[in-house]
Amino acid sequence: MLLIIEKETIIELARLVGGEDAARVMKILLRKPGIVDEEIASRLKLDVREVRKILHRLNEFGILHYELSRDKETEHRIFKWYVQQEQVIGLILTNMKKILDRLKAKLEVEKNNEFYWCGTLGHPRFLFSEAMDQLFRCPVCGKPLMPHENAELIKALEWKISEIEKALEEMTKLKKAEEITEKK
């Protein structure tokens, strides 16, 4: 289960770093560790220079590593690319912690404040003093701003926070296990 989530998250990270093509490159790398750039390019029908650019970008970001060898006949350098699993876990942990902090801050704001809202999705909510400034009218649609019952939102935030905390705990264990095996 964790492995599936992890792969999806790695692909998502690649997408963040280098867009849709980077996500496609990452999918192939996860399926075929040690694949060379020409093969990736022909499989994805991309220019090999474009693929190299993506690979180097992901490499700079610490998601990949490569093995260098030489073709015995042509003397050309061959790069075999691999996903840097352990680094990726580190990256995911950092990113998840950031998201967790943001959600916790949001939860505090929701718990400690009363909001006023017109009730239309996508329209802004206001704190009491801000709502007063707007004369209790939504500046977008003009409907009255009413106290917003945010218990559901608080419940949803708390659920999401607990889910992320659980995942973080699992991944931290995974990382520690890896560090121990590396030291041996």
First vs last Cα of the chain: how many Å apart? 27
Dihedral sign, Cα of residue 8, residue 9, residue 13, residue 15: positive
Is 144 a binding residue for Zn ion by CB under 5 A? The answer is no
* Contacts made by residues 68-71, CB under 8 angstroms, sequence distance 24+: none
Is 148 a binding residue for Zn ion by CB under 5 A? The answer is no
Is 141 a binding residue for Zn ion by CB under 5 A? The answer is yes
CB-wise, 34 or 144, nearer to Zn ion? 144
Is 137 a binding residue for Zn ion by CB under 5 A? The answer is no
CB-wise, 19 or 144, nearer to Zn ion? 144
The answer to whether 45 touches 39, Cβ cutoff 8 Å, is no
Per CB under 5 A, the segment of 42-50, 73-81, 100-108, 110-118 that binds Zn ion is 110-118
Is 167 a binding residue for Zn ion by CB under 5 A? The answer is no
Per CB under 5 A, the segment of 70-78, 84-92, 112-120, 159-167 that binds Zn ion is 112-120
Strands (E), 23-181: 35-36, 64-70, 77-83, 115-117, 126-127, 146-148
**What is the smallest separation between the CB atom of 114 and Zn ion, expressed in angstroms?**
18
Separation in Å, CA 9 to CA 64, 85, 86, 131: 15, 11, 13, 40
CB-wise, 106 or 123, nearer to Zn ion? 123
The one among 16, 105, 140, 177 contacting Zn ion by CB under 5 A: 140
Q: Which residues bind Zn ion (CB under 5 A)?
A: 118, 120, 123, 138, 140-141
